[in-house]
Every structure is written in C-alpha cells, then in structure tokens.
Structure 1
Amino acid sequence: MTDLTALFTDLVRLETRLYNVIDARLKAEHDLPLGQFEFLRFVAAHGTTRVYDLAREMAITVGATSKAVDRLESAGRVRRTANPDDRRSSLVELTPAGADVLAAATPTVEAELQAWVGSAPALEQLATSLSMLRRRAELDHRTDRHHSSNTGS
C-alpha cells in the first residue's frame, strides 16, 4: 500500500526543487520569474482573460493576482482593459513583448524539465494521474466537499 504522506512529501519537495531551478534559470536568461511565465502561458492560451480566471487557475487570491498582473503590465508584457460586459472586472491580454518573452522562455522551461524529469513510459501515466488528482482537488475545493468544520452538533 502506498504511503500517502511520503508521496505528498516527495511531490512537494520535487515541486519546490523544480520551481526553484526553473525560476532561477528564467530570471537569469529571460528576466522572467516562473510565476510570471505561468501567467503569460495562461493568458496566451486563452487570448483574453479576467483577473478572476487567472486567480482561479493559479489558486491564489484575486488581490495577489491583480498585483502580479500590475507587475506584468509595468513590464509591458500584458495589457489590462476594462471588461465591456462587467464594469467590476478587467480583461488581460498579452502584448507583443509578452508574446516574445513567452516564446523565448518556453524552450528554456522545457529543456530544464527534460533535464530533470526526462521522458519515460511511466511519465505519461504520472501526468494523467496528477491531472486527474488536481481536477478532483479543485472540484472538491469549489464545492466544499472536503472536510468541513461541521461536526453535526
């Protein structure tokens, strides 16, 4: 039987080490922190997105997301415009400079991941399993199905 606590520890430590290595390399080679790279990837994949959608994807608060978008906007990598359908929100889209840095940084990230993780037949199964677990965790979080503070008293 799998030791779930050990699995959790391995996942967290691997994620931390990978994140730190990739973040350092992106900063050195592209002046782009990994967190900003992740934002740029999401915006590029969606064309235009709301700050709220970025926050949900990154699993951080809207306030933290808004500050991150401010930094990307200051760097000229995204543009924020008023949402014509909802005055309370804004829309975020890549600028040409954002698209350029994303295009330059993507092979760097992929090369670093290849060096660390490599490729193996089991990797595809791991990717599928992690994706499924992430979706389940996100669904559980949104529907508050996880352990609540209700004790029945």
Structure 2
Amino acid sequence: MGAHQRMAQLVELELAAEGVAADGYAMLSLIGVRAPVRLTELAGELGLPLTTASDLVRRLEGRRHVHRRANPEDGRSFLFELTPSGDREWHNGWPALQRINAALERELADSATVRTALVQLKEAFEVALRPMG
C-alpha cells in the first residue's frame, strides 16, 4: 500500500474517532477556509473534475453542511459556504488532524526537510501538469 492510501486510511480512522465523516471532509475544509467560493475554484484547488466536485458539494448539501447561493457578480454561478452544522463538522475534525500531524512529526527525523521536499514535489507536479507547448 502506498503513502497516499496510508494517509487516507489514517485520516478516515482519526476522523471517525471524532464522529466526523471522512467522505467530503477535504471539500468541507476548503469551503470553510475560502467561503464564499465558486465550484470552479473548489475543483481547481482539489484537482478534481468539475463533475466530481459538484457531486461532493451536492452530498455535503444533502447533509445540510453546505449552502449555495447565487453569485451576485454574474447571476449564473453559485457561491458555497458552510452552514452552522457544516462549520461544527469542520471544527470537530480538527483534533483528528492535529493528532495525525503530531504523530507524523514524532516519526519524522527532520520534519522541516520533509515539508520542504513535499512543497517541491507539489510544485513539480504543477509544472508537469501544465500544457506543453
């Protein structure tokens, strides 16, 4: 099992310990940080196709964690923000994320070097994803 799968497994277990659903938590968090935010921004930031991002947001709306409203700038798109229950769910997940961070820092000899390497890896992926030409 690769690092990404292990990370997802750990996040799911720790969030479950807090009674928080892992499904859609990244989207919930991003809306919490960026609200009010458009779907295209959410999809771009998470690296998801628009249809996948739309499905995730719809599920969060179904749980009454997210509210959509018309974008006053164009009247066609929507802006998304957390509802009070969505804000509670988002905040309820924070202890799990703090435990994960603390556990990883304990296991990493030089966490600053690892963080730098991960930022460089992210940037390399971004460059590789740019259209060639």
Same fold at TM > 0.5: yes
Alignment of 1:1-150 (within 5 A): 13-33=2-22, 35-118=23-106, 120=108, 122-141=110-129, 143-145=130-132
Question: Could you say if the C-alpha distance between residues 28 and 131 of structure 1 is closer, same or farther in structure 2, counting changes exceeding 3 Å?
Answer: same
**Runs of 4+ in structure 1 displaced over 6 angstroms?**
none
Aligned-pair identity (%): 26
Q: TM-score, normalised by structure 1?
A: 0.75
| Mapped partners of 1:15, 1:114: distance in 2 | 18
Unaligned runs of 5+ in 2: none
Comparing 62-71 with 102-111, greater Cα deviation is found at 102-111
Q: TM-score, normalised by structure 2?
A: 0.85
Offset of residue 44 of structure 1: 1.6
1:82-106 residue CA offsets vs partner (Å, 9 max, x unmatched): 1122344211111111111111111
Unaligned runs of 5+ in 1: 1-11, 149-153
Which of 1 and 2 has greater Rg?
1
Higher RCO (CA 8 Å, separation ≥ 6 residues): 2
